[in-house]
Each structure stands twice: as structure tokens, then as C-alpha cells.
Structure 1
Amino acid sequence: MTLTVENQPDQSRYALLQDGEAIGVAEYQLRDGAIVFTHTEVDEEKREKGMASTLVKAALDDVRDNSELRVIATCPYVRSWLSEHPDYAELQQR
């Protein structure tokens, strides 16, 4: 099983791919120097296996490494994930 996360800007989302098949998404909107994460979802049969955390971490790492965007989390899952990972707090303060 190969897991990858890719930014799909034409669909305003990061996709979690398992062997090339999308099994989860973290949707976002770009506005005023920020990336607003609005919704995260993983296929029901893949939940509770850390897949959503893998997706969100990879998406936030991509934002940190490849942009100057500030992160705004309106998605409850991303907001919760950020509160549990204080080492990502600087993304919300850019």
C-alpha cells in the first residue's frame, strides 16, 4: 500500500491517494494571503487509521515548505489537529 498526498489546486484540495486512488481530501480556499481549510474527509472504511492526520500533516507541510500563506482552519478536524501540534502554530501567524 502506497500513500501519497498531492495538492490539486484546480480542485482546491489536497488529496490523499492510496495506490493512486483518492481516499480522502482536505478542501481549501485561497484568500488574502491565506489558505483556509474548510473541510477534511476520509473514506469511511479508512477512518480511525490515522489517514486524516497523514493528509493534514502533509498538506500543512506543503504550505509551510512551498508558500508564504497563513493557515486559517475553519474545518474542525484541521483546527483540532493544529491545537494538538503546537509546532505548526507559526503557520497561523504569518
Structure 2
Amino acid sequence: MSETEHQVIHDAQNHRFVITVDGSEAGYADYALETPENDGPAVRDFNHTVIDPAFRGRGLSAPLIRFALDDTLEANLTYRATCSAVEHFIGKNGRYADGLAGPV
């Protein structure tokens, strides 16, 4: 299988991270931004991840989720994984467990 060129961007206005392959949108990870009542950091609740059926089987969810979580940590935010794909990714990549927000 040949390597495809993919890019992930943060579409902050629509609260999602989008992955494109050779310029076509291949999927996204949606989140809800939660502002805590105390002085803690805001939380991105990753609640829905989709890879378009035409792009499935190419391993695109991992780079999409990795970029989204890395971006969240770099922004000094925490995250919640109410999406099963994000929860599974964190379970397989333990270094992301430290960025998890407290219980829902």
C-alpha cells in the first residue's frame, strides 16, 4: 500500500479536528469545550470521531486523535474521552492518560 499524504488541522470555530488525505476531507474528531467553574483548565470533551467510509482501513484515526490530544495538551487544556475511539486510543497509548480531566 502506498503512503498517502495526510494533514490534520484544528477547526476551532466548529470545535473539531479535521484530517485530510491528498486535499480531501477524510474524517474529523468533534469536541465540546467545557469551562470549569473553578480555576482549573478548560476541558475538551472528545465526543465523536468519524472516518469517511471511502478512507477507512488506512489507519487515519490514530494520527487524527494523536494530533487532537497533542494540540489540547500544548494549549494547556485537559480532555475527556466520551468517544469510544478516543478512549481506545488513550488506552493503547498510556502517555495520554495524564491529560485526562476528572470524572464526568
Q: Same fold (TM over 0.5)?
A: yes
- Give the aligned partner of residue 75 of structure 1: 83
Q: 1:30 to 1:93 in 2, by over 3 A?
A: closer
1:7 corresponds, among 10, 13, 37, to: 10
Higher helix share: 1
Runs of 4+ more than 2 Å apart:
none
TM-score, normalisation: structure 2: 0.83
Greater C-alpha radius of gyration: 2
CA positional deviation for 1:47 = 1.3
TM-score, normalisation: structure 1: 0.91
Say yes or no: does 1:92 pair with 2:100: yes
- Give the aligned partner of residue 53 of structure 1: 62
Contact 2:17 2:68 in 1 (8 A): yes
Extract unaligned runs of 5+ from structure 1: none
| Whole-angstrom distance in 2 between the partners of 1:64 and 1:20 | 26
The number of equivalent residue pairs is 93
Q: For the aligned residues, what is the CA RMSD?
A: 1.4
CA positional deviation for 1:50 = 0.8
